[in-house]
Amino acid sequence: MKQANETRFLKELLLQQAVVISRHGSRTLLTKDHKTFEEGMDSQLTIRGMNQMFRAGTFVQSHYQKDNFLTDVYSPPDIYVRSSDYSRTLNR
């Protein structure tokens, strides 16, 4: 009986917002200045890292589309992206 009540309760819930946190995929070596600890700008996603990010995005998209939270059409007002300004995190 408890499981039936939980199932009924869950069906009444409505997803209103989702937060997805992701780290970049595999990348080349990152250089750092050993005196200032500043990162070099030379670290890039590898082909494997690009594939990892593509698969992660496809998974998130399909997960939220099956719940009718996302549509097949990209809608900028519905999605907010925040990232550092490195090419390994955003493809320009």
Encoding tokens for residue 2? 């408890």
Report whether pLDDT(90) > 70.
no
- How many domains, in total, are found in the chain? 1
Is residue 44, in this structure, part of any structural domain at all? yes
Is residue 17, in this structure, part of any structural domain at all? no
Least Cα distance to 25 among 47, 44, 49, 46 occurs for 49
Encoding tokens for residue 11? 């069906």
Give the residue-averaged pLDDT of 14-24. Answer: 85
Model pLDDT, residue 4:
67
pLDDT band at residue 29 using 50, 70 and 90 as cut-offs: confident
Is residue 3, in this structure, part of any structural domain at all? no
pLDDT band at residue 52 using 50, 70 and 90 as cut-offs: very high
CB atoms within 10 A of CB 65: 12
How far, in Å, CA of 79 to CA of 70, rounded? 10
Report whether pLDDT(92) > 60.
no
Give the residue-averaged pLDDT of 85-90. Answer: 72
Model pLDDT, residue 89:
73
Is residue 48, in this structure, part of any structural domain at all? yes
- Host domain of residue 58: 29-92
How far, in Å, CA of 50 to CA of 33, rounded? 26
Is residue 84, in this structure, part of any structural domain at all? yes
